[in-house]
A and B are shown apart, each in its own frame.
Chain A
Amino acid sequence: GELYCSLPNPRNVHFESINMKNVLHWSAPDGTGDGVLYKVKYSVYGVGKWIRKSECRNISRTWCDLSSETADYEEQYYASVKAFLHGMCSDWTETARFSPLTETKIDPPMVSISSTEKSISIILTAPEKWKGSPEEESISLAQVYPGLQYNVSILNKKTKKRWWFSVSNTTLVVPWLEPGTVYCVSAQIHVTTPLLHSAFSKEYCIATLKDK
């Protein structure tokens, strides 16, 4: 049975989610040094059965990967953490209700570019949803978010002139450029609702071919 629970609770129990890789994080109870151990449980909202996460039982780290358990992004979840030290324990401390679909952070898109004399072609690829193993089917976040768009910035390195495009499809051809000039491209993912956007990718630079 549980011991007398007078240990302070773990603090700031929350999910950190990137591309739907959902990891539970927390901070150690106030005033406790080393030696604190934790156990973790989670539940699907509306189902209510708490399920222990066996790989996160008696752990000393302050995070626990619950991506597999929270992979269905049409559901919402709670998770909870309990701390143990010197025969004492804390109460269970819960997260707020976690909705992977609206709370995940999205990585920038992959950008690949090629050029001709007067144009640049840009191919944009949205990140994939987290998956448990390489054998699993890959799901692009573009499938998860029907309203996913790309904001693309193009900079003429010579004139410092910059253009902005907002596109839904994955290929963008920019015509009427100057031959023999370096252009730098950066792109961001933007989902209109739920309102989500990634950081901008790093810049990818390419020179248009010289006039023949």
Chain B
Amino acid sequence: KLFHFGPCRISMSMNEIRAGFAAIKDNIQGRDPIRTVSILSHPHSLHKIKSSEKCCIIHHLFNFYVDKVFKYCTTEDSYVNRKISSIANSFLSIKRNLAPCHNQNMCKCGQESTEKFKQILTNYRGLNVTSAAMKSLGELDILLDWMEKSR
């Protein structure tokens, strides 16, 4: 499937990622007891970001998930771990697909997306690494829902 993020277009196997996440959603979200904090959607929803700045935030978010989330999400359940690494591999290839467009300086980062991503990092750093990574992974559907609206 083709997704448009501002000037950048990426093809993505969204169904595969969705299916992988659906298989472990309750397991991962069940490991996150903190209801009062969301990494991605509060205080400001991803859905409020202007479409022209989506490219910048998606670029940051893929780096965020690859560098700060997947590698800290190991569980005692090998089935869950396999699903996590399959999703991580999908994210790695999407990140690679996005790089050319981003490197051609077509991904403008305005104030809104910069502020939003700063907020995401603040939310992330407000927790210890493992909790923050597991919570971020548990919010993958929030990211996927937002990306879907960008088709």
Contacts and interface: CB of A to CB of B under 8 A. Distances in A.
Interface string A67-110: 00000001110100000000000000000110101100000000
Q: State the main secondary structure of chain A at its contact with B.
A: loop
Contacts of A102: 22, 141, 145
A45 B141 contact: no
A147 B3 CA distance: 12
Contacts of A78: 35
B52 interface: no
- Chain A interface size range: 20 to 34
Q: State the main secondary structure of chain B at its contact with A.
A: helix
A76 B142 contact: yes
B52 to A, nearest CB: 19
A49 B36 CA distance: 7
B148 A48 contact: no
Contact of B18 (A47, A48, A195): A195
B148 A45 contact: no
Interface in B64-89: none
B15 A193 contact: yes
Contact of B42 (A46, A96, A195): A46
A193 B18 contact: yes
A46 B41 contact: yes
Given A46-B38, A48-B35, A194 B142 contact: no
B19 interface: yes
A197 to B, nearest CB: 13
A78 B30 CA distance: 12
Contacts of A125: none
18 contacts: A45-B35, A46-B36, A46-B38, A75-B45, A96-B29, A97-B138, A99-B145, A101-B145, A102-B22, A102-B141, A102-B145, A146-B151, A147-B148, A193-B1, A193-B15, A193-B148, A194-B148, A195-B18
